[in-house]
Chain A
Amino acid sequence: MEWLNAFIETYPVFLRGMLLTFQLTAVSVFIAIFIGLFFAFLKISNIKPLEWLADLYIFIVRGTPLVVQIFVFYFGLTSLDISQFWSVVLGLAFHNGAYIAEIFRGTIQSIDRGQMEAGRSLGMTNNLAYRRIILPQAMRRAMPPLGNQFIIALKDSSLASFIGMYELFNVATTYGSNNFDYMTYLLIVAVYYLILVLIFSILVRYIEKRMSISD
């Protein structure tokens, strides 16, 4: 009962936090998709230095804690007069880009070689065949793992609280410390995360369904 009261009393603030969490995630994943595509192409370019560059990027992202990446971007970018919001977004995009690059590399390479050959045999250039034939199919296959990555990113965005972004997690811990009752507010914030993930999962399933009419 007390929990419910706390939930009802705080919902306007939590909703604002939820909006910020969603914005941080959506914008950073959107950017990460382009970063991911770029590095996926470097990885399959068959040009060694470019492959190494992509490997190095993925190695750095995988080998360091996300919270470190967020702080580095935060201190690095805010010193260049970039806002707190955008420094976090770019930090998260940098991080997710590496995982998304691996997703795209995998799905691009999973497309049957015959698809490229069919395109080439019709007079398509390599670029055209990628754009019209390979990528649309690879994107479709990437939807489930991308959705998964989005959910991970959603939860990872809680680390933005470390640099003072007033997103969901920060709202919860602020209430927790003000009321000397972390448990109540952490259980409340868990509900908000679950709602976000649920909405998003339904959305992804809907998109997958629409995309798979051809199968």
Chain B
Amino acid sequence: MTQPVMVNVEKLNKSFGSLHVLKDIDITVKESDVVCLIGASGSGKSTLLRCLNFLELKDSGTITLEGEIVEASSIDLNKVREKVGMVFQHFHLFPHKTVLENIIEAPIHVKKIGKAQARKEGKELLAKVGLSDKEDVYPAKLSGGQKQRVAIARALAMKPDVMLFDEPTSALDPELVGEVLATMKQLAVEGMTMIVVTHEMGFAKEVADWVVYMHDGRIVEVGHPEHVFNNPKEQRTKDFLDSVL
């Protein structure tokens, strides 16, 4: 069975000043794929994710979303962002809003759906991430794991077609990592298209449809998790895996 292509990236380049961070990146993500991006610190993983929803602007190359080429000059960059949810390492919940208000903010003010409808859907999402009892709590009162689950619910509230995760568990205490990974697994099972930057090799092995290894701004190796983890083709991948496993 061949699924439609969700995200396609061709010859993507990005520099910060004289620092060439992304070098000719090509990547194709199909609908319902779960892709894990791994690689050493500074290899450009975050920058790649951020280019995909235009938080960073690429220098050259094409980004295609659901068959449509997207340019930064597109009048409707915000429409693109509505389709691409993002979850950050440090959550970035809105501290002045309660959990439920965090979730319904964008649906109400960006998508302009009614408040009652937004609240109803927001509560469903909170139930889904297991935080129904927290809807009126402010983020400062939550644990890291709970914050991240709220952040996931907040992104899902826009009904995105793709979810980007940038090291969603890296800022968490070890005992809180599991609850966030469980939420992400559930999303994967439901068929969400996901691109996940992670250092959780266990998660990558178990959930990823394929793994992308980045080194120094290039994609060095792409493959199914068993292949990449058990017999990497590239020596650099092997060295990296030896260093983290």
Q: Known: A214-B138, A215-B140. Is A122-B105 also a contact (CB below 8 A)?
A: yes
A-B contact count (CB 8 A): 69
Cα separation A115 to B91 with both chains bound (whole Å): 9
Cβ contact within 8 Å between A133 and B88 = no
Partner of B110, one of A114, A115, A118, A124: A124
Partner of B82, one of A114, A123, A132, A140: A123
Cβ contact within 8 Å between A137 and B110 = no
Smallest CB separation, B139 vs chain A (Å): 8
Cα separation A132 to B94 with both chains bound (whole Å): 10
Cα separation A96 to B67 with both chains bound (whole Å): 54
Chain B residue with Cβ nearest A126 = B78
Using an 8 Å CB-CB cutoff, how does the interface string of B103-143 with A read, 1 for contact, 0 for none?
00110011100000000000000000000000000111000
Cβ contact within 8 Å between B55 and A121 = yes
Smallest CB separation, B86 vs chain A (Å): 4
* Complex interface residues of chain B between 48 and 85 (CB less than 8 A to chain A): 53, 55, 78-79, 81-82, 84-85
Q: Known: A121-B81, A122-B82, A123-B78. Is A215-B110 also a contact (CB below 8 A)?
A: no
Which DSSP category, helix, strand, loop or mixed, fits chain A's interface?
helix
* Complex interface residues of chain B between 128 and 183 (CB less than 8 A to chain A): 138-140, 154-155, 158
Cβ contact within 8 Å between B79 and A123 = yes
Cβ contacts under 8 Å, B53 to chain A: 121
Interface status of B90 (Cβ within 8 A of chain A) = yes
Cα separation A124 to B85 with both chains bound (whole Å): 12
Chain B residue with Cβ nearest A114 = B92
Smallest CB separation, B161 vs chain A (Å): 13
Cβ contacts under 8 Å, A133 to chain B: 94, 105
Q: How large is the interface on A (under 10, 10 to 19, 20 to 34, 35 or more residues)?
A: 20 to 34
Cβ contacts under 8 Å, A112 to chain B: 92
Partner of B92, one of A115, A124, A128: A115
Cβ contact within 8 Å between B82 and A118 = no
Chain A residue with Cβ nearest B90 = A114
Cβ contact within 8 Å between B55 and A117 = yes
Cα separation A213 to B86 with both chains bound (whole Å): 28
Interface status of A125 (Cβ within 8 A of chain B) = yes
Cβ contacts under 8 Å, B92 to chain A: 112, 114-115, 117-118
Smallest CB separation, A142 vs chain B (Å): 13
Cα separation A155 to B82 with both chains bound (whole Å): 50
Cβ contact within 8 Å between B82 and A214 = no
Using an 8 Å CB-CB cutoff, how does the interface string of A95-131 with B read, 1 for contact, 0 for none?
0000000000000000010110111111111001000
Cα separation A121 to B56 with both chains bound (whole Å): 11
A112, A119, A137 interface centre (most CB from chain B within 10 Å): A119
13 contacts between A and B (CB under 8 A): A115-B92, A115-B94, A121-B55, A121-B84, A122-B82, A123-B79, A124-B78, A133-B94, A214-B95, A214-B96, A214-B97, A214-B138, A215-B95
